[in-house]
Amino acid sequence: MFLGKVAFIGAGSIAEALIAGLLESGYIENDQIAISNREDLDRLDILHTKYGVLATPNRQLAITGSSVVFLAIKPKDIAVALEQSKHLLNENQLIISLVAGVSISTIKQLIGNENMNIIRAMPTTSALVRKSATALAFPDDVPFEKVQIAKRLFERVGIVAKVEEDELHAMTGLFGSGPAYIYYVVEQFERAAMALGIHRDIAKPFIQQTLIGSITMIQETNKSPLTLRKKVTSPNGTTQAGISVLEDREVANSFLNCFIEATVRSREIQEEFEKINKI
């Protein structure tokens, strides 16, 4: 059981996913969680009703007494949010930033304290079902016990790995955005099922089972996706006919360019933020 309290600045999808996953894990109770959002009061009401957490526009009420503070806001809002909140933050707290494209050094500058303990994390919304893949980046001067707190929190909602801060751009482009790519593929399965006359009530569970079965095969057989794909692909068979279309359309290159573009955009967000805020 987590012994402290946590506060979320921001009430978006990733904040809700983490709250739901942590509560489901039993590692933390709802009276240990506070969430603050200045603008969307209806959203706070929804989260309070749904999860029983303290949800308030009063940042002081949310942050005071919290040992961990999550920054769960959009990059464009972080400068204002930290300006309004920095007097409530202290060096004993662990600040976990979920904000894409804003560096630890920049966050320290915005808070005005180089001694703050800050870890950047890139989880996914799959934390909601405790299946997130979370990348953590932090400088060497963050105390071991603070790092362990972050790891334990994110391990309750999925897997965790430490990366260098500069690697977070690629981790964001590949895995932070990854669920959206998978959902996009599922959308195409559904679209094809409709076009081919398969009833939705049959198609939906079959699509899900196909995904689950494929992932389980990768996990449990210890064979590469290439090997498994070749086992399904008989020469001149139905699978080969479908794969040929993907190869003709250079879908593999499209996926690669998708990942690259998302990674580039993460870097651009950082550069844009630093330029606007003269950092």
Tell me the longest C-alpha to C-alpha distance in the chain.
Answer: 68
Q: Which residues contact 141 (CB under 8 A, 6 or more apart)?
A: none
Q: What percent of the chain is modeled with pLDDT above 90?
A: 91
Report yes or no: 30 and 92 within 8 Å, Cβ to Cβ. Answer: no
Phi-psi region of 130 (alpha: psi -120 to 50; beta: other; left: phi over 0): left
Query: Are both 88 and 196 inside the same structural domain?
Result: no
Is residue 97 in a domain?
A: yes
The end-to-end CA distance of the chain, in Å, is 39
Query: Are both 110 and 230 inside the same structural domain?
Result: no
Using the CB atoms, write b or e for 35-49: b if 16+ within 10 Å. bbbbeeeebbeebee
Q: Where in the sequence is the domain holding 220, given as residue range(s)?
A: 178-262
Task: Band the pLDDT of 277: cuts 50, 70, 90.
Answer: confident
Query: Are both 226 and 95 inside the same structural domain?
Result: no
Which amino acid is present at 219? Q
Task: Band the pLDDT of 194: cuts 50, 70, 90.
Answer: very high
pTM: 0.91
Stretch 86-109: mean pLDDT, rounded? 94
pLDDT > 80? residue 5: yes
Of residues 216 and 75, the one with the higher pLDDT is: 216
The residue among 103, 138, 120, 139 whose CA lies nearest residue 277 is 103
Task: Band the pLDDT of 85: cuts 50, 70, 90.
Answer: very high
Instruction: Tell me how far apart the alpha carbons of residues 87 and 67 are, in angstroms, rounded to a whole number.
Output: 15
Stretch 83-102: mean pLDDT, rounded? 94
Query: Are both 131 and 196 inside the same structural domain?
Result: no
Residues written for the chain: 279
Instruction: Tell me how far apart the alpha carbons of residues 232 and 224 are, in angstroms, rounded to a whole number.
Output: 13
Residue 275 has what pLDDT? 83
Instruction: Tell me how far apart the alpha carbons of residues 85 and 70 are, in angstroms, rounded to a whole number.
Output: 12
Query: Are both 83 and 208 inside the same structural domain?
Result: no
pLDDT > 80? residue 1: no
Domain final position from 108, 128, 163: 163
Q: Which residues pair with 248 in a beta bridge?
A: none
For residue 216, give the CATH number of its domain. Answer: 1.10.3730.10
Is residue 198 in a domain?
A: yes
The 10s digit of each residue's pLDDT in 20-31 is 999 999 999 999
**Mean pLDDT over the full length of the chain:** 94
pLDDT > 80? residue 3: no
DSSP character at residue 157: T
Query: Are both 96 and 217 inside the same structural domain?
Result: no
Is residue 250 helix, strand or coil?
coil
Query: Are both 205 and 250 inside the same structural domain?
Result: yes
pLDDT > 90? residue 38: no
Is residue 170 in a domain?
A: no
The 10s digit of each residue's pLDDT in 200-220 is 999 999 999 999 999 999 999
Tally of structural domains, the chain: 2
Query: Are both 187 and 141 inside the same structural domain?
Result: no
Residue 267 has what pLDDT? 93
Is residue 140 in a domain?
A: yes
Stretch 49-71: mean pLDDT, rounded? 95
Is residue 268 in a domain?
A: no
Q: Which residues contact 267 (CB under 8 A, 6 or more apart)?
A: 101, 169
Query: Are both 148 and 125 inside the same structural domain?
Result: yes
Is residue 169 in a domain?
A: no
Residue 278 has what pLDDT? 73
Tokens, residue 108: 């320290």
Instruction: Tell me how far apart the alpha carbons of residues 214 and 178 are, in angstroms, rounded to a whole number.
Output: 17
**Pairing mode, if any, of strands 117-122 and 132-137?**
antiparallel
For residue 27, give the CATH number of its domain. Answer: 3.40.50.720
Computed over its alpha carbons, how large is the radius of gyration of the chain? 21
Stretch 101-121: mean pLDDT, rounded? 95
Is residue 275 in a domain?
A: no
pLDDT > 90? residue 258: yes
The 10s digit of each residue's pLDDT in 266-276 is 999 999 888 88
Is residue 272 in a domain?
A: no
Report yes or no: 35 and 66 within 8 Å, Cβ to Cβ. Answer: no
Instruction: Tell me how far apart the alpha carbons of residues 186 and 167 are, in angstroms, rounded to a whole number.
Output: 28
